[in-house]
Structure 1
Amino acid sequence: MDQETWKFVLDYLSAKENARGNVQKIEQEEKKIQEWLSKDPKHQEELEQALWLWQHTSAPPQNEEWKESFQTIQASLIEEAPQKTIKLKWWMAAAAVFAAITLSTLFYKVQQPVVQNEEIAWITKSAASGKVINIMLPDSSEIWLNSGSSISFPKNLQHAGLRTVKLKGEAFFNVKRDPQHPFIVHSSNIRTQVLGTSFNIRAWEGHEAEVTVLTGKVAVSSDSAGKQSAAIYLLPNQKAVADLNHAKLHLENIEDARTAIGWREGKLVFDQQPVKEVFEALERKYAVKIISDQSFKDCKLTAKFNNISLNEVLQTIQMTLDIQYTINKQTIYIKGGKCN
Structure 2
Amino acid sequence: MDKQEITHILDKFKAGKASDEEVALLESWYLKFETSESEILSEEERLDTFQRVGANLNINSKGKKAIALWQSISIAAVLFLMVSIGLILFKNQPVNDAQIVQNDVAPGGNNAFLTLTNGKRIDLSKAENGEIAEQAGIKVSKLANGQLIYKISSSATKLSVVNYNTIETPRGGTYMVILPDGSKVWLNAESSLNYPTAFEEKKQRKVHLKGEAYFEVAHDASSPFMVETDNQTVEVLGTHFNVNAYNDEQSVSTTLLQGSVRINAGLAHLLIKPGQQSVLTQQKLKVLPADVDDVIAWKNGLFQFSDENLESVMRKISRWYDVEIEYTDENIKEIPLTGIITHFTKVSKVLRMLELTKQVRFKIEGKKIIVSK
TM-score, normalised to structure 2, is 0.53
User: Is the contact made by 2:341 and 2:350 (CA closer than 8 Å) also made in structure 1?
Assistant: no
Distance 1:192 1:328 in 2: 41
Is structure 2 residue 303 aligned with structure 1 residue 261? no
Identity of aligned residues (%): 27
User: Is the contact made by 2:257 and 2:275 (CA closer than 8 Å) also made in structure 1?
Assistant: yes
How far did 1:263 drift? 0.6
Other structure's SS at 1:171 match: strand
Larger CA deviation: 284-293 vs 134-143: 284-293
Distance 2:330 2:172 in 1: 24
**Which structure dedicates a bigger proportion of its chain to strand?**
2
Do the aligned partners of residues 311 and 195 (structure 1) sit closer, same or farther apart at CA in structure 2, a change above 3 Å counting? same
Other structure's SS at 1:240 match: strand
Other structure's SS at 1:138 match: coil
Is structure 2 residue 371 aligned with structure 1 residue 328? no
**Which structure dedicates a bigger proportion of its chain to helix?**
1
Cα deviation digits, residues 36-77 of structure 1 (max 9, x gap) = xxxxxxxxxxxxxxxxxxxxxxxxxxxxxxxxxxxxxxxxxx
- Kindly provide the amino acid, as one letter, of the partner of residue 240 in structure 1: S
Distance 2:196 2:329 in 1: 43
User: Is the contact made by 2:190 and 2:211 (CA closer than 8 Å) also made in structure 1?
Assistant: yes
Do the aligned partners of residues 160 and 115 (structure 1) sit closer, same or farther apart at CA in structure 2, a change above 3 Å counting? farther
> Given the alignment, which residue of 317, 326, 331 partners 1:291?
326
User: Is the contact made by 1:152 and 1:165 (CA closer than 8 Å) also made in structure 2?
Assistant: yes
The residue number in structure 2 matching 1:150 is: 192
The residue number in structure 2 matching 1:195 is: 237
Cα deviation digits, residues 282-333 of structure 1 (max 9, x gap) = 0112222222223347614222222063212212333436333222343222
Distance 2:317 2:202 in 1: 37
Distance 1:136 1:219 in 2: 23
Other structure's SS at 1:132 match: strand
The residue number in structure 1 matching 2:312 is: 277
User: Is the contact made by 2:294 and 2:305 (CA closer than 8 Å) also made in structure 1?
Assistant: no
The residue number in structure 2 matching 1:304 is: 339
Is structure 2 residue 275 aligned with structure 1 residue 234? no
Distance 1:160 1:149 in 2: 29
User: Is the contact made by 1:221 and 1:249 (CA closer than 8 Å) also made in structure 2?
Assistant: no
The CA RMSD measured in Å over matched residues stands at 2.2
Other structure's SS at 1:161 match: coil
Cα deviation digits, residues 196-241 of structure 1 (max 9, x gap) = 0111111111421111111111111213xxxx32x21112111111
How far did 1:168 drift? 0.8
> Given the alignment, which residue of 244, 249, 259 partners 2:285?
249
Distance 1:296 1:329 in 2: 24
Do the aligned partners of residues 323 and 238 (structure 1) sit closer, same or farther apart at CA in structure 2, a change above 3 Å counting? closer
Do the aligned partners of residues 160 and 258 (structure 1) sit closer, same or farther apart at CA in structure 2, a change above 3 Å counting? farther
Distance 2:313 2:242 in 1: 18
Other structure's SS at 1:281 match: helix
Structure 2 residue runs of 5 or longer lacking an equivalent are 1-156
Other structure's SS at 2:330 match: coil
> Given the alignment, which residue of 117, 124, 129 partners 2:166?
124
Distance 2:353 2:280 in 1: 30
Distance 1:318 1:171 in 2: 29
How many pairs does the alignment contain? 214
Is structure 2 residue 219 aligned with structure 1 residue 177? yes
Distance 1:333 1:296 in 2: 14
The residue number in structure 2 matching 1:135 is: 177
Aligned positions of 1:41-52 closer than 5 A = none
Structure 1 residue runs of 5 or longer lacking an equivalent are 1-113
User: Is the contact made by 1:291 and 1:332 (CA closer than 8 Å) also made in structure 2?
Assistant: yes
Distance 1:173 1:192 in 2: 11
User: Is the contact made by 1:143 and 1:173 (CA closer than 8 Å) also made in structure 2?
Assistant: yes
Cα deviation digits, residues 177-198 of structure 1 (max 9, x gap) = 0111100001240110000011
> Given the alignment, which residue of 200, 206, 209 partners 1:167?
209
> Given the alignment, which residue of 214, 219, 242 partners 2:262?
219
Other structure's SS at 2:352 match: helix
Other structure's SS at 1:259 match: helix
Cα deviation digits, residues 241-280 of structure 1 (max 9, x gap) = 111x1x11111223x5243211112211223333322211
- Kindly provide the amino acid, as one letter, of the partner of residue 213 in structure 1: L
> Given the alignment, which residue of 347, 353, 356 partners 1:316?
353
- Kindly provide the amino acid, as one letter, of the partner of residue 251 in structure 1: V
Distance 1:300 1:252 in 2: 22
How far did 1:134 drift? 0.7
Distance 2:263 2:335 in 1: 27
